[in-house]
Amino acid sequence: MEKVRISKLMSERGLCSRREADAYIERGWVRVDGVVVSELGARAFPDQAITLERAAQARQTSRVTILINKPVGYVSGQAEKGYTPAVALIDARSRYAGDREPRRFERGHLDGLAVAGRLDIDSQGLLVLTQDGRIAKHLIGEDSSVDKEYLVRVQGGLSENGLALLNHGLSLDGKALKPAQVRWQNNDQLRFVLREGKKRQIRRMCELVGLKVVGLKRVRIGRVSLGDLPLGQWRYLREDERF
């Protein structure tokens, strides 16, 4: 049995992200079989016990995750081509009045926010920004199994067997897509449930079967729904919510 970097083991076990693991190790907040480890790049056997000191646990607890109902025209991440990033929507005035999370908004809650599942500029709906590397990994890591649900308004004529192909049988960039759940919601709207998120995936899938997307809204990520969060407003992920 070979030793593995402790930061890698911590990430695989869902304790934190690799970057967070390195920061905790530097501070002496990580123990392997009860012994403090403070050397970056240190390794351990995969069957050894790894625990976090209370200071690291407290830091994780203080990290926030924010849910935004992103409007069309905002980019998910960094500002580009003159467009405004969704994080610019987050301030005390735009917080949802129905937010039941008791914490007060602080400017520090904007530090280090990472987008956990992008939503393109032409789409709206549920966008997750988080300071917690565990949540980001859970939602967008290579082995993530969290599904995402979309309402998609379309135009055009669906090709023969098109609905079946949307569910399973299409390929993008030379790679077969994972099975999806796609059904008609009404005469001009489809409901998609996906477990992957290639760039502009739904729009490209629809094009392959003769449809053009004219409106796309993400309404759910895992067990967390957009609900009645108003367009352009945000709220905190509650302590009792899990994706």
Sequence-distant (6+) residues with CB within 8 A of 119 are 70, 76, 125, 126, 127, 218
C-alpha atoms less than 13 angstroms from C-alpha of 3 in its C-beta half-sphere: 8
* C-alpha separations of 124 from 37, 53, 104, 150, 152 in Å: 44, 40, 26, 10, 11
Is 143 one of the catalytic residues?
A: no
Sequence-distant (6+) residues with CB within 8 A of 102 are none
The torsion defined by the Cα of 215, 220, 225 and 227, in degrees rounded to 10, comes to 10
* List 120, 132, 147, 240, catalytic entry: 120
If one counts every other C-beta atom within 10 angstroms of the C-beta of residue 134, the result is 18
Q: Active-site positions?
A: 120
